Amino acid sequence: METYERLLAAITPATGPTRDVLDPATGERIGAARVDGTAELERAIGRARAAQPAWAELGDEERVATLNRVADAIERSGEALAELLSREQGKPLNGPNARFEVGACANWLRATAATPQPVEVVVDDGETYAELHYRPIGTVGVITPWNWPMMIAIWQIAPALRMGNTVVAKPSEYTTLSGLALAAVMNQELPEGVLEVVAGDGGLGAELVVHPGIGKIMFTGSTATGRRIMEASAGNLKRLTLELGGNDAGIVLPDVDASAIAEGLFWGAFINTGQTCAAMKRLYVHDDVYDAVCDALTEVASQMPMGPGLDEQNVLGPLQNRMQWEVVHRLVDAAKTSGARVLLGGTPDPEASGHFYPTTLVADIDDAHPLVQEEQFGPALPIIRYSDVEDAVRMANAVDVGLGASVWSGDRERAREIAARLEAGTVWINSHGGVHPGIPFGGVKQSGFGLEFGAEGLKAVAVPQVING
């Protein structure tokens, strides 16, 4: 079993430029992350491209077996990976956090390996026979965010490898060690060159995007960065999957039992301390149950312990970086100034170490307020009152993003009717934000395009080929 100390030592460079990595909960130094440049990127891409033909020629059965061995390796190092993730990203070990994320990496690898290869007979009429197959692209570039740095990396790496591609991954500069550690464990089982990792800032990511040796970019992050990636990739028509920003709405209908849905509402909004693309960012509640929902949600939220991630009792942690803390603080302060009612939180402790922002619920807020209209990406939820469901649907659809949404009701058919009218890539009924390796996931509008997970996710990291005859 890998220990945290051995894992950290394995990814600590002996030479070359580095930068200090600090724990967002305490400000203490964790270790040093390497800082790569153009030369390291070129070498990584060269190694991945050289390894790709042999990896593709192994065949699907052997690649599947390899991915399952990689999942075993992650499980063997699970506690060490979880500790490193908690120290660098800030999320607690327990709850739907660090141990959950590492476990999801292994589970997702196995699910990706178990998904049938997408081969389709498109015409078979007695005269013509045609099949649609999916072939490797070549080398795929993967650029991952800091909120779920291991799990989202697997979401992109696993299907790319399954389809015979090699991968060059660049983790976020905020969670570099998590990306390097995950790759180090995976490379215990993968052939040399199949998975390469480069470490650096957005400039290095931009070089990866435009490199002619990369056939596809998979990116999870902000809409603004996604736009820049689209512009940069136009020169060589690079294929893209972009999972971008969200501002997910939840709509609560008047027939709910407030106490029964309160915990589901809480985790829909506050999983990973609100730092999740498809978390619920704004909640629309009908007049008839508004006060009951506010009370029940406040009761649940007030009992969720927040603190350093290595303390076993905590389920909420700090914001990963000061930049994001400032965004949340600005939006909540503006809401307070506007006269909105703070049900819980809203005032960070000036003496607290780390990037902690208290769990915050804000009621009686206007839909036009920035806390509603901007993605806060942190532990602050605005609760908006409505009296006509038509108004709730209109407000939910009024933003320019559409990653996820949810409808909460005791009448599932009524909820489905409303769900069909919401402009979002996924709409959940009586839950929010749950993903499944067999269910396609992706955004609409400025939340990006392309699907991940399941057979559709495999197709997205391959090129179609029709065999006619």
Give catalytic residue positions.
243, 277
Q: What does each C-alpha distance from 443 to 32, 202, 399, 437 come to in angstroms? A: 35, 23, 13, 16
User: Long-range contacts for 45-48 (Cβ within 8 Å, ≥24 apart)?
Assistant: 45/139, 45/168, 45/196, 45/208, 45/211, 45/213, 45/214, 46/213, 47/192, 47/193, 47/196, 48/139, 48/166, 48/167, 48/168, 48/193, 48/194, 48/195, 48/196
CA–CA gap between residue 400 and residue 86 (Å, rounded): 33
Q: Which of 207, 110, 217 lies closest to 160 in space, CA to CA?
A: 217
CA–CA gap between residue 365 and residue 342 (Å, rounded): 9
Q: What does each C-alpha distance from 262 to 270, 345, 468 come to in angstroms? A: 12, 17, 55
Which amino acid would we find at residue 336?
Answer: K
Q: What is the DSSP letter of 127?
A: S
CA–CA gap between residue 457 and residue 441 (Å, rounded): 8
CA–CA gap between residue 419 and residue 413 (Å, rounded): 10
CB-CB contact of 161 with 67 (8 Å): yes
CA–CA gap between residue 76 and residue 240 (Å, rounded): 33
Residue whose tokens read 């939910």: 396
CA–CA gap between residue 323 and residue 164 (Å, rounded): 38
Q: What does each C-alpha distance from 132 to 68, 164, 165 come to in angstroms? A: 27, 17, 19
Half-sphere exposure of 308 (CA within 13 A, CB side): 13
Helix then strand then coil, in percent of the chain rounded to 5, is: 40, 20, 35
Number of Cβ atoms within 10 Å of the Cβ of 413: 8
CA–CA gap between residue 140 and residue 168 (Å, rounded): 6
Q: What is the DSSP letter of 347?
A: -
Q: What does each C-alpha distance from 461 to 142, 167, 189, 465 come to in angstroms? A: 11, 11, 21, 13
